[in-house]
Amino acid sequence: MFIGHNPQARPARTRLWILCAPPGTLSWGRKVPESRYSRQIIFSGIGPEGQAALRRSRVLLVGCGALGSVIAEILVRAGVGALAVADRDYVEETNLQRQSLFTEEDCRQSLPKAVAAARRLRAINSDVEIAEHVVDVNPETIEPLARPADLILDGTDNFETRFLLNDAALAWEKPYVYGGCVGAYGLSIAVIPGRTPCLRCLLEQMPPAGSAPTCDTVGVIGPIVHLVAALETAEALKILTGNLEKVNRRLVSVDLWENRVLSLDLSGMGANPDCPACGRRRFEFLEGERRTRTDSLCGRNAVQVRPAGSANLDLAPIAQRLALQGRVNVNEFLLRADLGEFEIALFRDGRAIIRGVRDADEAKRLYARFIGA
């Protein structure tokens, strides 16, 4: 059926032709190299020169969960020269629904995500140099990771680390591709220092603790993970193959459940002179001024997490989200959530006491997972 046309004017049978060039040739007969990358090389946007540039490139991927595992696999299959994967978390059963590099065996072994990812990636393409880093990426650890890279890719789940990556990209003039998703919604932007707005130009301030939903409070579906990862890696391929003029100058957002695709044109925007990061060159997150602080509470098997900056939280919506995970009690001063193996007491100023954790890194991970900033 042809919508908007008279069906009688069309043939009763419609034929769809799918044209494929013979193996080893373009459609007009020119020979191409027979290799694992041949289908990528014959794509006019990449070609032999772009593939060679990709082979020379070095990429830092921070976060190897949902987005990161998909991004890593696409880049390794594409033939990136070297990929450094940095992640502080380990594989859990709830990851398997959307984190496509991992298996039940990784979960049974509680393998660090960076380690499990590196094993799988080496099996996919042994020609790519893979470096795994089981590390919390913070102002003390980021420089040796980011300095050698030609590109920084975002697979993280919290804005403190994202603003840190943004600072590092600007300070050391590295392209940075941001992406995020939750529920069925996701978005992505590419940051080219000196040419495009940076993440802080667009967001200005880090969202307050508890103001944004997380995958652990509202869920996430696999398709949005793969879509946002595809958006990020498409920009990565453009950058790494030297096609900067093709980099998307739009912020793209997609809601797969509500069938909405929106884009904000940033082509007329450059670096904002009033932006603390790219305008004033004040790298507060890279210099550690805005770093989340933690304190171990002696004798209580608990860690206190104090986010950077001040907050005045509305505890009611946070309590509603956490009630899906366990028992929650809330009053005008704080909420307490019993989540099984651990307990979170969250105060209106954003401070939380997390019981049942082994160390500060685990407390920070749980804070980002359940509170969200």
Q: What is the pLDDT of residues 14-59, one digit of tens each?
A: 333 333 444 443 333 444 445 899 999 999 999 999 999 999 999 9
Q: Is 201 a catalytic residue?
A: no
CA angle 167, 171, 179 (to 5 degrees): 40
Q: Enter the DSSP assignment of 206.
A: P
Dihedral sign (CA 233, 59, 165, 190): negative
At residue 99, φ and ψ (nearest 5 deg) are -100, 95
pLDDT of residue 349: 81
Rounded percentage of the chain residues whose pLDDT exceeds 70: 86
pLDDT tens for 284-336 read 999 987 776 665 554 457 787 877 666 788 899 999 999 998 999 988 787 98
For residue 4, name the pLDDT band (cuts at 50, 70, 90). Answer: very low
pLDDT of 163 higher than 90: yes
In this structure, of 117-131, 202-216, 265-279, 354-368, the range with the lowest mean pLDDT score is: 202-216
pLDDT of residue 108: 84
**Which residue has better confidence, 25 or 124?**
124
pLDDT of residue 296: 56
Write out the two tokens for 40: 């990528």
Q: Are the CB atoms for 352 and 346 separated by under 8 Å?
A: yes
Domains of the chain (ranges, CATH numbers): 38-265 (3.40.50.720), 293-370 (3.30.310)
pLDDT of residue 136: 82
pLDDT of residue 27: 37
Separation between Cα atoms, residue 137 and residue 63, nearest integer Å: 9
**64, 181, 198, 215: which one is catalytic?**
215
pLDDT of residue 112: 86
Average pLDDT over residues 128-142: 92
pLDDT of residue 31: 45
CA distances from 255 to 122, 220, 229 (A): 33, 11, 14
pLDDT tens for 231-269 read 999 999 999 999 999 999 999 999 999 999 999 999 877
